Amino acid sequence: MKVIQEEIKLRPYPRGFHLITEDVKAALPQLKAIKAGILQVFIRHTSASLTLNENWDPTVRGDFERHINIMVPENAPYYEHNYEGSDDMPAHIKASIFGSSVQIPITNGQLNLGTWQGLYLCEHRNHDSGRTLVLTGWGQ
């Protein structure tokens, strides 16, 4: 079994849902050596998250942002945690809803995503200096 692991820092993104599939693939040229396996992508933050979804139509990413902001609004009167601004507590809730990791099959050295699937960074804060991902691939 072959195991590879890289830690990468993404460029800063504004609040929203951003395709990062190519960033992840570019950071792991060693995937070509894995015939069958799994890539786990883990984000080391509590106010951003990861998900897999539509990779072609950017209106989907905008719809995600608009919908999640209705589901988890800023300035809810019952939030106690507000030390870092009105976007902080909602960012923690949103990150828990979407999750901190995804697993993607590796087949013949490539990520085995569906035709219209891409990996999203879900940035839930208004501003950030760049998120760190841990990429771990293993397989034969």
CATH of the domain at 53: 2.60.120.460
pLDDT grade, residue 82 (50/70/90)?
Answer: confident
pLDDT at 131 over 90: yes
How far apart, in whole angstroms, are the C-alpha atoms of residue 28 and residue 4?
A: 8
Average pLDDT over residues 42-55: 98
Domain range enclosing 97: 2-74+83-139
**Burial group, residue 40, by CB count within 10 angstroms (0-12, 13-18, 19+):** middle
pLDDT digits (tens, 9 = 90+) for 67-77: 999 999 999 99
Give the total number of structural domains in the chain: 1
